[in-house]
Amino acid sequence: MITQPGRFVGGLKSGSQAFDPQRRRLGSAERESACIPFHRDDTMRLPWFATLCLTVTTVLAAPPNIEPVAGLRDRTPRVHALVGAKIISQPGTVLEAGTVLVRDGVIVAVGEKVTIPPEAHIWNLKGKTLYAGFIDAFSEQAIPVDKLPNSNRHWSRRVTPELEMAAYYTADEAVHAKYRGQGITARLVAPEGGVIKGQSTVVLQGDAQRPTIAKSRAAQHLRLTVPYGVNRDEFPNSPMGAVALARQTMLDAQWHRQATAASAANPLLPRIDASRSFAALAPVVEGEQLVIADASDEQFLLRADDFAREFGLRLAVRGVGREYRRVDLIKQSGRTVIVPVTFPAPPNVETVAAALDVSLEQLMHWDLAPENPARLDAAGVPLALTAFGLKDVTEFLPAVRRAVERGLSAESALKALTTTPAQLLGLERSLGTIEPGKLACLIVTDGDIFAGKTKVLETWVEGERFELVEPVRTDVRGLWQFEFSDQPDKFARIHLALQGTAAKPTGRWSLSEELARADKLDKAEKLKSLSVRDSVVEFSFEGKLLDQTGTARGTGVISAKTDELEIAGEVIWADGSRSKLTGKRTSTDVPGEPTTAEDKGVKEEKKDLAAISKVNFPLGDLGRSELPPQPAVVVIKNAKLWTAAEPAVIENGMLLIRAGKIAAVGTDLEIPQNALVIDAKGKHISPGIIDCHSHMATDGGINEAGQAITAEVRIGDFIDANDINIYRQLAGGVTSSNILHGSANPIGGQNQVIKLRWGSDSAGLKFAGAALGIKFALGENVKQSNWGERYTKRYPQSRMGVEQILEDAMVSARDYRRQHAQWKLNHEGLPPRRDLELDALVEVLEGSRLVHCHSYRQDEILALLRVCETHGVKIATLQHILEGYKVADAIARHGAAGSSFSDWWGYKFEVLDAIPYNGLLMYQAGVNVSFNSDDRELARHLNHEAAKAVKYGGIPETEALKFVTLNPAKQLRIDKQVGSLEVGKDADFVVWNGPPLSTLARCEETWIDGRKYFDRAQDAAQRKTDEQLRAAIIGKILASGESKAKSGEKTVNEADLWPREDEYCQHSRGQGNAERRLQKAE
């Protein structure tokens, strides 16, 4: 096959004499008719794509040029012999002195004894080191919006899998040059932006005028989130919405393939429209094409892994430098991680005031981040290094060297820059090592490339040489004697001492021959300037000692005779007269030349010290190095037990716990011999508090407000194990919490019940066996009453519309269920499409998914109950339900529970009729009542909220305690596991210093699953330890000499930008209501 000149196929130039064992075994008959196959993903030149057939002759010649020749044809052989270098052919393999022979951009021979053809250009690299060119496995380039296709594609502008960067790549020589300067000869370029972003290309970093595409469809790219501040009228506008969109798109790609096949097989079936988007995803869902997902932190990395496992994807992840925080879980994923070397600048801690603004997490991250690559490598995580995220690509090699200094072995670093990315991207046949048959992408250095002072002298890209550091052809340093032949005898001769470096020499001069003495050298006159280029020396000096006024300028040509250097030229004096200059070097030694950095007045680089921090989780204040132990047997005695069961209170009670479960409750229990016995005399013990309405511990945005129905969205995709509110609420006795979607839509996303296992990962927080649930909402929020004038177009805009959209959703789910059931029976017609939104609503119809509905007014509450009863759906909880007292009888008849505020109202118009006796009146009507927080601070004292049920109406204390323990457990259908101190339930309990409903009560300990997750005494000790670590890291920063970040400047984790509260509820304490946030975003 004939290709465009410079085009490479399968890593070999078409028709070149590159080594190919398969081709060499062809017989004579085969050689006459063999063709080189064409593959779209093989290396190609932009912008031409030629696909002709070449008859291979016995002698394989370079392919003919199909482009018309302008002027004379270039017959210069493209053959190079790189001779005498130390060759690092691959990580761990070294040839101390060898030759690399390159023909037409391809390595054809490597070894100690290589026959060099006469036409080869020989490059003497004695004393130099040769490496395979580096591969940067990730970079991005934006594609102009006006160039995007607009037909036969996905409906969402954030789903563009059909985009191929190979067709849009814009080469920039300045950018290519920067990458080459870091030894990077090839890099992956991905489309920027989007959820399913499109396909990347691998580009060689040679001449940008005619860039070479090494692989056109290297990988498909995902980013399972959206930019913070995206318009609220667009779907998705939250990270969890982005995941839902990506999941649905993968399912749609699978369905499209099946439906298209069915339609093609039966002409009576409806025709399925072609889709470039789904066609591009076919190799992805089949597990054939690599997928690279962007991860903004270690939790996003694990979420990407979960996503890939759901759909069987070949996944690698582009990390962000925080992976050391969860190395164990990342190792278990088995994914290759593309690791940036973007190490943070030290925070500004120069003053006590400035240091107060810096968290322990920031300090520890600065301390630990440079060890991220080393820790991943030590754990056995496959990694590739990337310059992505650096402010300037020229920072890349210094950052890699820093990673090596902080523990990454040089061999592992080289592997992460060569063989690993080559294998990951399917380029191992053409890049990554110095072997015959590989492209001649090489690095020439003057030493170990990971040593701090080593220079990258040259890079070779596809056999083309790029000189980075101009070599010093003449080292002029030493003692010299200059003579001016036509001047008076008194200054016919001067003596010079040339010092400095070979590339940048400096000099002093004197009339005395004793210049060679160190004490004389310091007193000698300095040359004002001195430069050497090739063999030409330029210098200037003050002529005062020579009885000349002004500055004299000299120039001369250096010549070598045997081992000596001589100079011939002239000096131009300030008055314009000229003198002939001759001279010679008398010695290569200069007495008094400083030999140490201290003597030279140069600050010696400070060693980058190993981290003094130990990784805890979450990183920073109060994090854990491991989960608290779970004693096999625990006995707590002499406590007053508030059981939320029968009997309700046990004086001098005992609690026996085995393997995290309550084994016995009573007064005179037998204590097993191996038990951990805790004397709780004077203490009170209650069941762990359960918050039925919370928005903490999630970084997915709380609301997906882009559509009226977002049932496919899952809070569980974005449980944030880093949230400090988990710990703070543990300190208030909370052990379980229902993390709900916000109230932006009539039907919102799916909730997630968690246990507050501080120190666990996201999966470890999830409450195993908890009933599935979903958030519905009524009233002002869903009809956009308080969103601002811009948001008045989304249906519904009235309470009547809310009722109708709920009805329509139920009918649609019923029809969807019938359609799928019919298909399972007979498989006739087109296969039905799986719809994640309707899947969730079918679960609502079938009662396997609980409905938790945000509600206030009596009229809309009744409307909701009637719609649900029409379709056989029972509401699990009415949330807020501040007018529940008006319709308590109807709520009780329906069987719904009420999860309310104790006395929080007046924050918007629809809650003006709320009263503090709401909980009492619903309780008296037979409604199961709980009090919730809906607020990260209020959750820290829910025991006080329960006490208000006693204050407003005199509910007995034991019943009021159930408002935050057993009752919410029943509402969430987890009462068989938690909610009371009963045999067989999880050992989730709280130790108080007084009656739990007292305003003076203080949580002393909080236990979950028989593990003590909070201990007030341990908390005080941990705070002291954290302060000591904080002081130590600050001291390390001050001694480091590194440039500090500006005061208040820090790298913001993307996940921290998203709200941790329902911004549409105007009681939000933190970031304000939705309208203010939207105005800020715009």
pLDDT digits (tens, 9 = 90+) for 511-547: 887 776 766 777 888 999 999 988 899 999 998 888 8
Answer left, alpha or beta for residue 161, where phi above 0 means left and psi between -120 and 50 means alpha.
alpha
Q: Which tokens in the block code for residue 760?
A: 């666990």
d(CA 233, CA 744): 11
Report how far Cα 591 is from the mean position of its chain's Cα atoms.
Answer: 55
Q: Which tokens in the block code for residue 753?
A: 């019940």
| Fold equal for 136-142+153-232+275-430 and 682-1018 | yes
d(CA 345, CA 570): 52
Indicate the DSSP class of residue 474. Answer: -
* Dihedral sign from CA coordinates of 242, 243, 247, 250: positive
**Contact 704/663 with Cβ under 8 angstroms?**
no
Q: Which tokens in the block code for residue 133?
A: 């060119």
**Contact 373/404 with Cβ under 8 angstroms?**
no
Angle at 348 (CA atoms; ends 344, 353), nearest 5 degrees: 150
Q: Which tokens in the block code for residue 557?
A: 């040509």
Q: What is the pLDDT of residues 315-337, one digit of tens each?
A: 999 999 999 999 999 999 999 99
The torsion of the CA quartet 1054, 1055, 1060, 1062, rounded to 10 degrees, works out to 70
Q: Provide CB contacts within 8 A for 916, sequence distance 6+.
A: 902, 903, 948, 952
d(CA 519, CA 510): 13
Indicate the DSSP class of residue 486. Answer: T
Q: Which tokens in the block code for residue 655?
A: 């609690």
DSSP helix/strand/coil, 805: helix
d(CA 1071, CA 1063): 7
d(CA 138, CA 201): 10
Report how far Cα 483 is from the mean position of its chain's Cα atoms.
Answer: 66
d(CA 445, CA 128): 6
- For 708-804, list the strands marked E by DSSP: 734-739, 747-750, 752-755, 772-777
Report how far Cα 417 is from the mean position of its chain's Cα atoms.
Answer: 18
Range 306-343 burial, b when 16+ CB lie within 10 A, else e: ebbeebebbbbbbbbbbbbbbbebbbebebbbbbbbbb
Indicate the DSSP class of residue 955. Answer: -
Q: Provide CB contacts within 8 A for 947, sequence distance 6+.
A: 960, 997, 998, 999
d(CA 605, CA 603): 6
d(CA 455, CA 980): 69
Fold for domain 682-1018?
Answer: TIM Barrel (3.20.20)
Answer left, alpha or beta for residue 112, where phi above 0 means left and psi between -120 and 50 means alpha.
alpha
d(CA 364, CA 342): 15
In this prediction, the residues of the chain whose per-residue pLDDT falls under 70 are 1-65, 486-492, 516, 518-519, 562-563, 591-606, 787-789, 1048, 1066-1082
Kindly give the interhelix angle for 836-846 and 239-265, rounded to the nearest 10 degrees: 100
d(CA 459, CA 442): 6
**Contact 579/570 with Cβ under 8 angstroms?**
yes
Burial (CB count <10 Å: 0-12, 13-18, 19+), residue 190: buried
502: number of Cβ within 10 Å: 13
Q: Provide CB contacts within 8 A for 467, sequence distance 6+.
A: 457, 458
pLDDT of residue 57: 24
96: number of Cβ within 10 Å: 8
Q: Provide CB contacts within 8 A for 846, sequence distance 6+.
A: none
The torsion of the CA quartet 1028, 1034, 1036, 1037, rounded to 10 degrees, works out to 160
pLDDT of residue 71: 83
Range 107-138 burial, b when 16+ CB lie within 10 A, else e: bbbbeeebeeeeebeebebeebbbbbbbbbbb
Q: In what order do the strands lie in the sheet with 336-340?
A: 196-199, 220-223, 290-294, 314-318, 336-340, 383-386
606: number of Cβ within 10 Å: 10
Listed residue (542, 600, 540, 552) closest to 576, CA to CA: 552
**Residue type, position 693, single letter:** H
* Dihedral sign from CA coordinates of 526, 528, 533, 534: negative
d(CA 978, CA 687): 8
pLDDT of residue 16: 33
Q: What's the Cα-to-Cα distance from 20 to each of 33, 110, 727, rounded to whole Å?
A: 17, 14, 62
CATH number listed for the domain at residues 136-142+153-232+275-430: 3.20.20.140
Beta bridge partners of 445: 129, 456
Instruction: Tell me the three-class secondary structure of 1029-1073, residue by residue.
Output: HHHHHHHHHHHHCCCCCCCCCCCCCHHHHCCCCCCCCCCCCCCCC
Listed residue (618, 679, 184) closest to 384, CA to CA: 184
Domain ranges of the chain: 136-142+153-232+275-430, 478-589, 682-1018
Instruction: Tell me the three-class secondary structure of 838-879, residue by residue.
Output: HHHHHHHHHCCEEEEEEECCHHHHHHHHHHHHHCCCCCCEEE
Cis, bond preceding 996 (omega within 30 deg of 0): no
Scanning 683-734, the segments in alpha helix (DSSP H) are 724-730
Q: What's the Cα-to-Cα distance from 775 to each of 42, 173, 257, 582, rounded to whole Å?
A: 50, 53, 33, 93
**Contact 832/820 with Cβ under 8 angstroms?**
yes
Phi–psi pair at 77, nearest 5 degrees: -65, 140
Listed residue (487, 441, 482) closest to 464, CA to CA: 441
Q: How many alpha carbons lie under 13 Å from residue 904 in its C-beta half-sphere?
A: 19
d(CA 845, CA 868): 9
Q: Which tokens in the block code for residue 281?
A: 């995803």
Q: In what order do the strands lie in the sheet with 877-880?
A: 747-750, 772-777, 849-855, 877-880, 897-900, 929-931
- For 42-147, list the strands marked E by DSSP: 44-45, 79-90, 93-103, 106-111, 121-124, 129-132, 134-136, 140-141
CATH 2.40.128 at 478-589, yes or no: yes
